Amino acid sequence: MPGTSSFLIVANRLPVDRVGEDMWRRSPGGLVTAIAPVLQRREGAWIGWHGAPDERLDPFEHDGMHLIPVPLSEQEVELYYEGFSNATLWPLYHDVVATPVYSRALWDAYRLVNERFARAAAEAAAPDAVVWVQDYQLQLVPAMLRRLRPDVRIGFFLHIPFPPGELFQQLPWRRELLEGLLGADLVGFQRPGGAANFIRLCRKTLGLQYQKHEIYVEDRVVRAEAFPISVDFGELDVLVREPHIVARAQEIRRDLGNPEHVLLGVDRLDYTKGIGQRLKAFGELLADGSIKPGEAVFVQIATPSRERVEEYIRLRDSIELQVGRINGEQGELGQQPVQYLHQSYDRDELAALYLAADVMVVTPLRDGMNLVAKEYISCRHDLRGALVLSEFAGAAEELKQAFMVNPYDVDGLKRTMLTAMRATPHDLSRRMRSLRRRVATYDVDRWAQDFLAALEA
């Protein structure tokens, strides 16, 4: 029996966070902001895990959205989420900056959980519904869903990079994953390079014919194209002009001792983000006297993330050791050059931090897009502030006027951080104006519209 939802989002997580027994709050973040209005307009539903293991919940309504929770057992969280998703696929798709774990037990759990999501979607979808599957945790869902419901239109968007063939071929289950994705009518990537990698792999691994963006799969055509995701420029642009945010930004600078330069990093605590590299560069600038004591403060906000996965445990230890060393060697009584906070913050506090920062340092070793870079730009209507951006972030393809760096090159990183700190107001405003034009035009709403228009064409 088909369901009643004509538009479905299928994602690893539901777009809400629990704030009490039966109380939920809409999760922050661009994806939810972009998709929630579409969902509300189209009487859609969102299928996803609600975040707690070993708990079954009935579907519920929140904020005009119909939410369908998918249960995960404690063991599935360990094998499917922490395991195959975040210890196998995550490092493999990010240039193997950590060593991926290849384990049949993890794969089995991934397949099983993907099947559960596909079944939930098949049950909820109305005849001829549009189903939009999100991200690397659910790459088998498109083909599984197509088998159950050949009538529905299926889109898939990968939020992280899609790796080159030389890396992807390591995966013992490479055929299954490609076939899983090919169940979609449209497969979206962050960058054209990701789409090209995917198309070449379909040719090489599965022997499929293709032309430009179209892959021929039996009697169907699958399109593979880039749709770079973005942020809600308008919302941030308004928020950051509010008096309480402006006052808070001033207060932050005061609390930091009103240094000449405030440098800022905002990331999930993830080994792909290049946090260690940027701290090393900053520490060396202090040690070699390029930055005078008290002249600059580096604020590093690191959201706790995937805290039971081994590589993340190791990373935390190493970053905290590094921060301690820099502050121990370069700090003074009452004055610490690195302010490290292992915490999550709400939108207002993040906006105030962006406004308070002279230099935003975004140095991932590999990143699908990096929304933090686009959020910073959205907040700088004053046309001040410098963005130091890794050439290995998807955002680098669009944000050409940033101060570009190779995060593996410590000397280059030091030079670029200094250049950004010493840039003239004229240079900064010229760059920021161009960056803002790009993000204002290609915001997250445009991203969702472009993807859905291509899917439904």
Instruction: Point out which residues bind ligand ADP (CB under 6 A).
Output: 29, 266-268, 301, 303, 344-345, 350, 369-372, 375
Residue among 70 and 420 whose Cβ is closer to ligand F6P: 70
Minimum Å distance from CB 188 to ligand F6P? 14
Distance, CA of 173 to CA of 176 (rounded, Å): 5
The interface partner of residue 344, options being ligand F6P, ligand ADP, none and the CB cut-off 5 to 8 Å by kind, is ligand ADP
Contacts of 419 (CB under 8 A, 6+ apart): 403
Residue among 7 and 376 whose Cβ is closer to ligand ADP: 376
Minimum Å distance from CB 368 to ligand F6P? 6
Residue among 283 and 394 whose Cβ is closer to ligand F6P: 394
Residues present in the chain in total: 457
Site string (264-303) toward ligand F6P, x via CB under 6 A: ----------------------------------------
E strand spans, 166-213:
186-189, 210-211
Minimum Å distance from CB 345 to ligand ADP? 4
Minimum Å distance from CB 302 to ligand ADP? 7
Residue among 180 and 228 whose Cβ is closer to ligand ADP: 228
The interface partner of residue 264, options being ligand ADP, ligand F6P, none and the CB cut-off 5 to 8 Å by kind, is none
DSSP state of 265: E
| 351: Cα within 13 Å, side-chain hemisphere | 25
Residue among 197 and 272 whose Cβ is closer to ligand F6P: 272
DSSP state of 435: H
Q: Is the separation of the CB atoms in 46 and 68 below 8 Å?
A: yes
Residue among 185 and 232 whose Cβ is closer to ligand ADP: 232
Q: Which of residues 11-30 bind ligand F6P (CB under 6 A)?
A: 13
Per CB under 6 A, the list member of 5, 70, 78, 135 interacting with ligand F6P is 135
User: What are the C-alpha distances in Å from 390 to residues 141, 178, 300, 363, 400?
Assistant: 32, 29, 16, 5, 11
Using rule CB under 6 A, residue 6 touches ligand F6P: no
Residue among 372 and 455 whose Cβ is closer to ligand ADP: 372
Minimum Å distance from CB 266 to ligand ADP? 5
User: What are the C-alpha distances in Å from 185 to residues 2, 10, 18, 413, 417?
Assistant: 20, 15, 34, 42, 44
The interface partner of residue 372, options being ligand F6P, ligand ADP, none and the CB cut-off 5 to 8 Å by kind, is ligand ADP
**Residue 425, SS3 per DSSP:** helix
Q: What pairs with residue 132 in β-bridges?
A: 9, 155
Contacts of 392 (CB under 8 A, 6+ apart): 95, 364, 365, 366, 367, 406, 407
Using rule CB under 6 A, residue 94 touches ligand F6P: no
Task: Using CB under 6 A, count the residues that bind ligand F6P.
Answer: 6
Q: What pairs with residue 125 in β-bridges?
A: 5
Minimum Å distance from CB 17 to ligand F6P? 11
Minimum Å distance from CB 159 to ligand F6P? 4
Q: In 10 A of CB 193, how many CB atoms?
A: 16
Backbone φ and ψ of 306, nearest 5°: 45, 55
The interface partner of residue 375, options being ligand F6P, ligand ADP, none and the CB cut-off 5 to 8 Å by kind, is ligand ADP
Backbone φ and ψ of 14, nearest 5°: -70, 160
Site string (142-171) toward ligand F6P, x via CB under 6 A: -----------------xx-----------
Residue among 130 and 373 whose Cβ is closer to ligand ADP: 373
Residue among 359 and 372 whose Cβ is closer to ligand F6P: 372
The interface partner of residue 135, options being ligand ADP, ligand F6P, none and the CB cut-off 5 to 8 Å by kind, is ligand F6P
Minimum Å distance from CB 269 to ligand F6P? 11
Using rule CB under 6 A, residue 405 touches ligand F6P: no
Q: Is the separation of the CB atoms in 373 and 357 below 8 Å?
A: no
The interface partner of residue 13, options being ligand ADP, ligand F6P, none and the CB cut-off 5 to 8 Å by kind, is ligand F6P
Q: Which of residues 303-332 bind ligand F6P (CB under 6 A)?
A: 305-306
Using rule CB under 6 A, residue 431 touches ligand F6P: no
Adjacency order of strands within the sheet including 153-157? 60-62, 65-69, 45-49, 5-13, 125-134, 153-157, 186-189, 220-226, 214-217, 210-211
Contacts of 284 (CB under 8 A, 6+ apart): 410, 414
Residue among 14 and 152 whose Cβ is closer to ligand F6P: 14
- In single-letter form, the type of residue at position 53 comes to P
- In single-letter form, the type of residue at position 40 comes to Q
User: What are the C-alpha distances in Å from 86 to residues 90, 270, 319?
Assistant: 5, 11, 20
Q: Is the separation of the CB atoms in 352 and 243 below 8 Å?
A: no
Binding site for ligand F6P (CB under 6 A): 13, 135, 159-160, 305-306
